[in-house]
Amino acid sequence: MSTTQVTLSDLQHSDSITITRAEAAKALRVDPRTITAGIENGTIPSVKLVRRVLIPRLPFLALFGANE
């Protein structure tokens, strides 16, 4: 299992359009189930592509005032 730390700053400087639930959880230092709950209740924006759930990076950062 990877122990790579992801921060909001890392996400700000990324050129990726989307992030995963795992990346969001690492950046916020919460359990991935917390991110899943936020997606399910509509608090965290997401896009479902077949079986994969992706989080648009800029709207996610905007939730925390960290958008570019």
pLDDT score of 7 more than 80: yes
Q: How many domains does the chain have?
A: 1
pLDDT tens digit string along 10-38? Answer: 999 999 999 999 999 999 999 999 999 99
pLDDT at 2: 54
CB 21 within 8 Å of CB 53: yes
In a domain, 32, yes or no: yes
pLDDT at 5: 87
In a domain, 3, yes or no: no
29 lies in which domain range? 8-63
Angle at which helix 21-28 crosses helix 32-40, to 10 degrees, equals: 110
pLDDT at 1: 46
In a domain, 68, yes or no: no
CB 45 within 8 Å of CB 60: yes
In a domain, 20, yes or no: yes
pLDDT score of 68 more than 70: no
User: How far, in Å, CA of 32 to CA of 54, rounded?
Assistant: 13
